Amino acid sequence: MATTANAANLANRAITRTILRWIHIVFAIPILGYIYSPFDKLPSYAFKARFVFVPAIVLSGLWMWKGHVVRRLISNRPAAGTNSYSSL
């Protein structure tokens, strides 16, 4: 029983990681267009680049990097290797 739950959890994390990677890649493409576009086209890209694409890239990158820490802080389980008697 525990093996199937662990396998489902790993599959769920793998799917989440894949989705976040693709979000990161897809939202980076307009940033490249913003950087390499002609100077007269920059005002039309500026708002979307600053307030949509960059925050999406930053949040997805931070979640891929430190998402495990956030999940551990949210969950009720202690981190692996910690002892509840260490404070005594």
Q: How far apart are CA 34 and CA 44, in angstroms?
A: 9
Whole-model pTM? Answer: 0.67
pLDDT tens track for 36-73: 888 887 888 888 888 999 999 999 999 999 988 888 88
Q: Where are the domains of the chain?
A: 15-74
Closest CA to 68 of 22, 12, 13, 24: 13
Mean pLDDT for the stretch of residues 6-13: 80
Q: How confident is the model at residue 82 (pLDDT cuts 50, 70, 90)?
A: low
Handedness of CA 25, 26, 31, 35 (dihedral sign): positive
Task: Please compute, for residue 3, the number of CA atoms within 13 A of its CA located in the half-sphere on the CB side.
Answer: 0
